[in-house]
C-alpha cells in the first residue's frame, strides 16, 4: 500500500472534529478529516502532518523535514495568505503553541494586520519554492489553495499568481466542528470529494 502524505493547517489536521477534541487534551490529527477520507477512497495509508495555526513557512518547514519514501503521493493545502508565523513560540508547560489569549499572540495579530500585504507576497514565494522542490524531487504532488471566500481571492488582493496550484476548490460549510467555527465531518467529506474529482487529474 502506498502513502498519502498531507501538509497544512487546522483545515488539514481536522481541528475540533469529534475524535480530536479538546485539542489540547487529545492533540492528534482527526481520522474524520479530509486526508483520511481521501486516503480511504484511494486505498492509501495516510500520514496527516497538518498542524493547527500553521502558516506557509511552517507548512513548508514540515515538508523539508519529512522523510519521504518512493511512491508517496503528497498534498499540500496552504493556509491563509496574511497569517503571520508564530509557530516557534511555544508554551513551556506543554510544548504547544501559545494560546490566543496570550499577550504575544495579540501582538502577532496586530503585526499581521499591519503587514498583511508583505506577508502575503512572501507566502506566495514560499508556495512557488515548494512547487519547485517537489518538481526537482520528481514527486507526485498536488498543491491546493482551498478558499473560504472567493471574493477575497489573494490574486485579486495581491496580483500574484502561481500556476501549479489548484485554486478553484472551496470549503462548503455543510456543518461545523465542535468549536462551532471549523468545518465539521460532512464538510471534510465534501472537501475530500472535491480534491478527488479535481486534484487527481492534475498530479504534478
- For the chain, what are the domain ranges? 3-199
pLDDT at 85 over 70: no
pLDDT digits (tens, 9 = 90+) for 129-180: 999 999 999 999 999 987 665 555 555 555 556 667 888 888 999 999 999 9
- Per-residue pLDDT at 118: 74
81 close to 155: Cβ distance less than 8 angstroms: no
pLDDT at 72 over 60: yes
- Per-residue pLDDT at 107: 61
Give the angle 111-117-123 at the CA atoms, nearest 5°.
Answer: 95
- Per-residue pLDDT at 203: 46
- Per-residue pLDDT at 89: 59
- Per-residue pLDDT at 145: 84
pLDDT at 128 over 90: no
- Per-residue pLDDT at 180: 95
- Residue 97: pLDDT band (50, 70, 90) is low
Q: Is 64 exposed, middle or buried (0-12, 13-18, 19+ CB in 10 A)?
A: exposed
pLDDT at 114 over 80: no
179 close to 108: Cβ distance less than 8 angstroms: no
Helix axes 56-65, 116-136, angle to 10 degrees: 20
- Per-residue pLDDT at 27: 81
Q: Given 1.10.3470, 3.40.50, 3.30.450, 2.30.30, which CATH number is that of 3-199?
A: 3.40.50
pLDDT at 57 over 80: yes
39 close to 5: Cβ distance less than 8 angstroms: no
pLDDT digits (tens, 9 = 90+) for 27-41: 899 999 999 999 999
The average pLDDT across 183-198 equals: 96
Helix axes 116-136, 103-114, angle to 10 degrees: 90
- Residue 204: pLDDT band (50, 70, 90) is very low
Sheet holding 3-7, edge to edge: 45-48, 3-7, 73-77, 140-144
pLDDT at 16 over 70: yes
56 close to 127: Cβ distance less than 8 angstroms: yes
Element containing residue 65 per DSSP (H, E): helix 56-65
Amino acid at each position: 500500500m502506498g502513502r498519502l502524505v498531507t501538509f497544512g493547517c487546522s483545515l488539514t489536521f481536522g481541528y475540533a472534529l469529534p475524535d480530536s477534541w479538546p485539542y489540547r487534551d487529545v492533540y492528534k490529527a482527526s481520522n474524520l478529516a479530509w486526508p483520511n477520507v481521501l486516503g480511504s477512497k484511494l486505498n492509501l495509508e495516510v500520514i496527516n502532518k497538518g498542524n493547527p495555526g500553521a502558516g506557509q513557512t511552517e507548512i513548508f518547514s514540515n515538508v523539508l523535514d519529512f522523510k519521504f519514501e518512493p511512491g508517496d503521493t503528497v498534498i499540500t493545502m496552504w493556509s491563509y495568505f496574511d497569517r503571520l508565523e508564530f509557530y516557534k513560540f511555544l508554551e513551556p508547560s506543554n510544548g504547544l503553541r501559545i494560546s490566543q489569549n496570550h499577550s504575544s499572540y495579540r501582538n502577532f495579530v496586530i503585526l499581521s494586520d499591519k503587514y498583511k500585504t508583505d506577508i502575503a507576497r512572501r507566502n506566495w514565494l514560499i508556495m512557488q519554492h515548494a512547487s519547485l522542490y517537489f518538481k526537482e524531487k520528481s514527486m507526485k504532488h498536488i498543491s491546493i489553495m482551498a478558499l473560504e471566500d472567493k471574493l477575497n481571492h489573494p490574486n485579486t488582493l495581491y496580483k500574484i499568481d502561481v500556476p501549479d496550484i489548484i485554486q478553484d476548490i472551496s470549503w462548503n460549510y455543510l456543518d461545523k466542528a465542535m468549536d462551532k467555527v471549523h468545518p465539521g465531518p460532512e464538510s471534510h467529506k465534501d472537501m475530500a470529494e472535491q480534491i478527488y474529482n479535481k486534484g487527481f487529474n492534475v498530479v504534478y
